């Protein structure tokens, strides 16, 4: 899940978290696929970002993200406890692309 600015929304993206109005009424439920007309309506609301499923803030591929992660941990990945940190980060990347 990533929070995407309203201006960068595109039709076909899937809402990851229900969008509610001030009184808590659900306007768009989790799992809704955005259409152009929905995006126009979202633009009229007082929202800056919405949560989108599976999106990544960059357009990097899974392979790119994993290789960058490997590179950052290249010198210290084998040190004590570094596998724990790297493991959590790897799991997050994998989830995004599921």
Partner 1 sequence: MDPKLLRSQIEQIDTLPTIPGILRKLLAVIENPKISLTEIGNFISNDPVLTSRVLKMVNSPIYGFPGRISSVQQALILLGLNVVRGLLLGVSVFEVMQKSMVGLWEHSLGCAVTARIIAKKKNIPEPEEISVSALLHDIGKVVLILRFKEEYERVIKEAELKDILIMEAEKEVFGITHAESGAWVAKKWNFPLSLVEVIEYHHKPSLSKTVTIQSAIVHLADILTRSVGFGFAGDNYVPAVNPTAWELLDLSDAELREIIDEMDHTLQEAGDFLLGDESG
Residues of the shown chain interacting with partner 1 in the complex, contacts defined by CB under 8 A: 2-3, 49, 57, 68-69, 71-76, 79-82, 84-89, 91-92
Of 45 and 85, which CB lies nearer to partner 1 in the complex structure?
85
Residues paired with 26 in a beta bridge = 20
Strand ranges for 2-81 from DSSP E: 2-5, 19-20, 26-28, 49-52
Minimum CB separation of residue 37 from partner 1 in Å reads 26
Q: What are phi and psi of 65, to 5 degrees?
A: -60, -40
Minimum CB separation of residue 97 from partner 1 in Å reads 16
């Amino acid at each position: 899940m990533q929070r995407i600015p309203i201006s960068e929304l595109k039709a076909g993206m899937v809402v990851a978290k229900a969008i509610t109005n001030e009184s808590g009424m659900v306007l768009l439920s989790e799992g809704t696929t955005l259409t152009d007309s929905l995006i126009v309506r979202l633009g009229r609301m007082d929202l800056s970002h919405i949560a989108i499923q599976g999106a990544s803030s960059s357009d990097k591929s899974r392979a790119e993200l994993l290789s960058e992660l490997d590179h950052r941990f290249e010198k210290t990945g084998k040190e004590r406890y570094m596998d724990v940190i790297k493991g959590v980060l790897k799991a997050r990347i994998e989830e995004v692309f599921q």
